[in-house]
A and B are shown apart, each in its own frame.
Chain A
Amino acid sequence: DQQVKQNSPSLSVQEGRISILNCDYTNSMFDYFLWYKKYPAEGPTFLISISSIKDKNEDGRFTVFLNKSAKHLSLHIVPSQPGDSAVYFCAGHSGGGADGLTFGKGTHLIIQP
């Protein structure tokens, strides 16, 4: 049972435009959702998170939206830059910090010049 789903394996966006990465989940016990960015041969780097009681969190060019009724979240990157080309993972957390994360399979974002 895949609790966190990222249905787009890849996404291509032109530099300067908005990138929107989507994520769906099934576990209602998640209390936080996190987005990670991963370059080849490196570990995932934390980008932004959102509490399950919020519907939006913004940090610079990155905004995460949560639609709890639809069990859906999205990451918006605007404007997209060449350095944003990477694999993006959505993850859910439950347990008040005692448990690890449940990840989706990732979306490979490619920023075209």
Chain B
Amino acid sequence: SAVISQKPSRDICQRGTSLTIQCQVDSQVTMMFWYRQQPGQSLTLIATANQGSEATYESGFVIDKFPISRPNLTFSTLTVSNMSPEDSSIYLCSVGSWQTRNYGYTFGSGTRLTVV
């Protein structure tokens, strides 16, 4: 399965600032996904990042707050803009491995963001 490098692994940011999270995959993948896990909650899909087109956002998430780039088939970034303490979460990128027998998706190790 794909190997994902995600950085930074953690950060503490001031409210009102922005943070860009990077996700690098060791193989070419068509779609990459970005998730958020708020404290004590499940992982929630933010958006699907397609190479060559705009990201598709889930209900409750907007491009102005979470702009996404997907310049090629191995890389994507998620920016958390104009941060508030409510944005404190773990952010994870993921790629789909539906070509494999087990239909599993691979996740990066996550970015733990604390907004103060």
List residues of chain A with CB under 8 Å of any chain B CB: 4, 32, 34, 36, 41-46, 48-49, 51, 59, 89, 91, 93, 96-106
Contact = CB atoms under 8 A, between A and B. Distances in A.
Nearest to A34: B104
A103 B110 CA distance: 16
B94 to A, nearest CB: 7
A95 to B, nearest CB: 10
Given A43-B92, A46-B102, A100 B42 contact: no
B104 to A, nearest CB: 4
Report whether over half of chain A's contact residues are helix, strand or loop; otherwise say mixed.
strand
Contact of B106 (A41, A46, A97, A105): A46
Contacts of B112: 41
A41 B45 contact: no
Nearest to A102: B45
B48 A97 contact: no
